[in-house]
Amino acid sequence: MSGKIKFEEVRLTSTFLDPRQDFRPTTVEFQIRRDPLTGRTGHFSHFGAIKPQKLDWEKYTDPQLKGFCPFCREYRDKATPKFREGILPEGRLTRGEALLVPNLYPYDVYSAVVIMTEAHVVPLDQFSRERLVNAFCVGIDFLRRVKSLDPSLSYHIMAWNYMPPSGGGLVHPHQQYFATNYPGNQFMDELRAAEEFYTRYQNDYWSELVAEEQKRGERYIGQTERVHWLTSFVSLGILGEIVGVFLDVFNVADFAPDHLEDLVVGLMNIFSYFNDNGICSFNATLFFGPKGQRFFPAHFRIIPRTFLNLRDYAPDMNFFQTLLQEPVSVVLPEELCAELRRYFAR
């Protein structure tokens, strides 16, 4: 075993007199784990207590309830903005059904939205390879152009909220792409820790992690050519977290069409797993590090999201995530990995 990566966990129990068992003592187990890269902790508890809630897809297409959607085909040409000529002479980028436009509510100086489909509601099993490739393709193309236009913005991000439990404000499938010097605390914590790891061991953390997880076989899901898929030792999502690592992509300029194809193959496997398990919503990101480094390979993260129930629409985040900044998961990464592996073995 490599001594470079440590998987630390604390297993604890809590015992109480259980009304469901005539007030006999019941002992409940939980865990706290430490992320081997950043050192940030995460809780694992309430095992199996939260089930993904199936969304009522019909409701989202009902014209009475739908409301105005600027991304729908009949409005998108008129209702979405265009880039200035100095940024994108074409104003917008298009490929197949995908259309990239400026974000009306920008996250940074260069901030785009990719409207992924012409259809307003697209269940996961209708994300064809072509739809996914086209959307990522225009988004990555935009990031590469922005990188040449303004190299002072070091980091490049794709972010995707899919369906309302994820915080997505519009159900019409869309992704965000932006360049920034402020990519968020998770990104910066990883970047700093990855640089320290590289300085200490002269190898990048993710290469070591992939090798270590392949050896251990507990959280290594599989490989789609250039992408290695893992479940994270500490999950950022309540129903777990899946990471895809591109070991030979260090900034967005390295991301070739083959990488995109391999990402989409893996993503479609994950969507099949989501579909079979009633998962209807997620957050996803693709992180690209700055140029000139070899310690921060690009990686894709995806976490399922759900309402806790459809009576009150309670979200799956509470004081833990929002105020204590501590992720909580009800699924063990090793069990999630075992489930997902079947979808990557086809």
Q: Which 3 state secondary structure label does DSSP give 39?
A: coil
The amino acid at residue 193 is A
**Residue 122 CB, nearest approach to Zn ion (Å):** 10
Residue 145 lies near Zn ion (rule: CB under 5 A): no
**Residue 133 CB, nearest approach to Zn ion (Å):** 21
11-19, 56-64, 96-104, 114-122 -> range binding Zn ion (CB under 5 A): 114-122
Rg, the chain, Cα only: 21
Question: Pick from 140, 145, 138, 141: which is nearest to 85 by CA?
Answer: 145
Residue 72 lies near Zn ion (rule: CB under 5 A): yes
- Given a contact cutoff of 8 angstroms between Cβ atoms, the answer to whether 245 and 220 are in contact is no
Q: Which residues contact 106 (CB under 8 A, 6 or more apart)?
A: 178
Residue 119 lies near Zn ion (rule: CB under 5 A): no
Residue 320 structure tokens = 């833990």
**Residue 69 CB, nearest approach to Zn ion (Å):** 3
Residue 265 structure tokens = 């193959």
- Given a contact cutoff of 8 angstroms between Cβ atoms, the answer to whether 306 and 331 are in contact is no
**Residue 120 CB, nearest approach to Zn ion (Å):** 3
Residue 71 lies near Zn ion (rule: CB under 5 A): yes
Q: Cβ–Cβ contacts within 10 Å for residue 295, how many?
A: 21
Nearer to Zn ion, 71 or 250 (CB): 71
Question: Pick from 14, 36, 35: which is nearest to 326 by CA?
Answer: 35
Alpha helices per DSSP H over 217-332: 257-276, 319-322
67-75, 108-116, 212-220, 307-315 -> range binding Zn ion (CB under 5 A): 67-75
Query: Which positions from 169 through 188 interact with Zn ion, judged by CB under 5 A?
Result: 172
The distance of Cα 112 from the centroid of its chain, to the nearest Å, equals 18
**Residue 75 CB, nearest approach to Zn ion (Å):** 8
**Residue 99 CB, nearest approach to Zn ion (Å):** 12
- Given 76, 120, 144, 342, the residue binding Zn ion (CB under 5 A): 120
Q: Cβ–Cβ contacts within 10 Å for residue 162, how many?
A: 26
Total residue length of the chain: 346
Nearer to Zn ion, 115 or 270 (CB): 115
Nearer to Zn ion, 16 or 75 (CB): 75
Query: Which positions from 285 through 344 interact with Zn ion, judged by CB under 5 A?
Result: none
**Torsion sign, CA atoms 272, 277, 281, 282:** negative
**Residue 101 CB, nearest approach to Zn ion (Å):** 13
Query: Which positions from 153 through 172 interact with Zn ion, judged by CB under 5 A?
Result: 172
d(C-alpha 318, C-alpha 41), whole Å = 16
Total residues binding Zn ion (CB under 5 A): 5
Residue 69 lies near Zn ion (rule: CB under 5 A): yes
115-123, 186-194, 201-209, 318-326 -> range binding Zn ion (CB under 5 A): 115-123
Enumerate binding residues for Zn ion (CB under 5 A).
Answer: 69, 71-72, 120, 172
